[in-house]
Amino acid sequence: MSVPLAVIAARILTGAAVRPFDTQLDRMLDLAQATPSSVIAVAGPDAAEAMSGLWRRGYERVEAARRATCPAADELCDLLLVAGCERATGAADLTRATRGMLRTGGMAIIDAGRMSDPDERLRLCGLLAEAGFTVEPDAHLAAEIAARRLPDAVWKRAA
């Protein structure tokens, strides 16, 4: 997402945040109750921006996530952030592909702010449930959707 130079100048002159993604990242971290000691994986079109924002905030245990291909990873993450997806299917596919990087009971926070249609966010919640996550009933009403990873035995039994 590119911000025009005039908008950046106006934000600097008025004292507003220069990075519009910062407030969204703050909401995602608050929702997850993350601390700088949390192990965080970041995926999605805005992953690079989210990672740099995390590093600026003092989060050191941050990694890029595209696909969980190694079941014997050194360390599973506490939090998976999926940033910048415009469609429910894209966000759900990415979350499903990186699910193996997230510890059981870990939290995935999906940026649904670009999904302006509430039905699209509701569909995302359903897709996340099918992928082995629990989602609160009214989660689709927010710009960020929190989903907790279920244990494999529980998820596969329910499927």
**Measured CA distances, 42 to 6, 15, 128 (Å):** 30, 29, 17
pLDDT tens-place string over residues 67-91: 665 554 557 899 999 999 999 999 9
User: In terms of CATH, what superfamily is 20-158?
Assistant: Vaccinia Virus protein VP39 (3.40.50.150)
pLDDT of residue 104: 93
- CA pair distance 75, 125, nearest whole angstrom: 27
Helix (H, G, I), strand (E, B) or coil at 13: helix
Geometric angle at alpha carbon 51, from 47 and 55, rounded to 5°: 175
Give CA–CA dist 68/99, Å, rounded. Answer: 7
List b or e across 38-70, with b for residues whose CB sees 16 or more CB atoms inside 10 angstroms: bbbbbbbbbbebbbebbeeeebeebeebeebee
Query: Tokens 């507003």 identify what position?
Result: 16
Whole-angstrom distance, CA of residue 23 vs CA of residue 31: 12
pLDDT confidence of residue 1: 41
Task: Render pLDDT for 140-158 as a digit per residue (tens, 0 to 9).
Answer: 888 899 999 999 866 665 5
Dump pLDDT digits (tens) for 121-136: 999 999 999 999 999 8
Residue ranges per structural domain of the chain: 20-158
For the chain, give the percent of residues with pLDDT over 90.
52
Q: Which residues pair with 80 in a beta bridge?
A: 41, 108
